[in-house]
Amino acid sequence: MGVSENKAHYGHRLRVYRKIGDVIYDEVYYLTVNGKPVSKKREREIWAEARARDQELLEYQLACKEEDDLENPIRFHRDGRIIGLTRQQQQSQGRTIDIFKLRIKLIDGSITWGSISIDYHGFDDAFKLAIERIAEILELNKRAKLYRHMKQSKEAYLLK
């Protein structure tokens, strides 16, 4: 989030807020002492401290995210669906087509796209092809726990 300035009835203050993993860093720097504003010089020093701390937390946040992405290139929604794999219906030449749409972020930051027709392959085969395509793109071992977890997410894509 960065550094934000709050002027409330209980004091003028700066807030540094970042969430890194499951830990929330919420730090407050007061610009008042005993209800009176600090000097302009001290205010600049406090601002510099807050910005420095925010920069430190940002670097730590980016390092943690990069490490986490290398460890686990696949993420899941709370309902079990794979982030980057969606089931969609598209209109094409006056008819509705049911597809799995792929949007996979690679380790280098680039994104690869693709789609697999459920109407053509059938739901089970299309899902299997989608999972295999994700594993191929991210170079995942098909015997890995992550691959098994992706296969188990199939029920989250069934129409309700």
CB contact at 8 A, 28 and 14? yes
Query: Do the beta carbons of residue 99 and residue 115 sit within 8 Å?
Result: yes
The average pLDDT across 120-149 equals: 87
pLDDT in tens, 37-54: 899 999 999 999 999 999
> Please, what is the average pLDDT of the chain?
85
* pLDDT tens readout for residues 5-48: 888 766 788 999 998 878 899 999 999 888 888 999 999 999 99
Dig out the tokens for 31 from the structure: 């610009």
**Which string of DSSP letters, residue by residue, matches 69-138?**
HHH----B-TTSPBTTEEEEEEEETTEEEEEEEEEEE-TTS-EEEEEEEHHHH-HHHHHHHHHHHHHHHH
CA 53 from centroid of its chain's CA atoms: 23
Contact yes or no for 131/124 (Cβ under 8 A): no
Q: What angle do CA 28, 38, 34 make, to 5 degrees?
A: 75
The structure's pTM equals 0.57
**How is the chain split into domains, by residue range?**
2-71, 85-157
**Six-digit token string for 85:** 């794999």
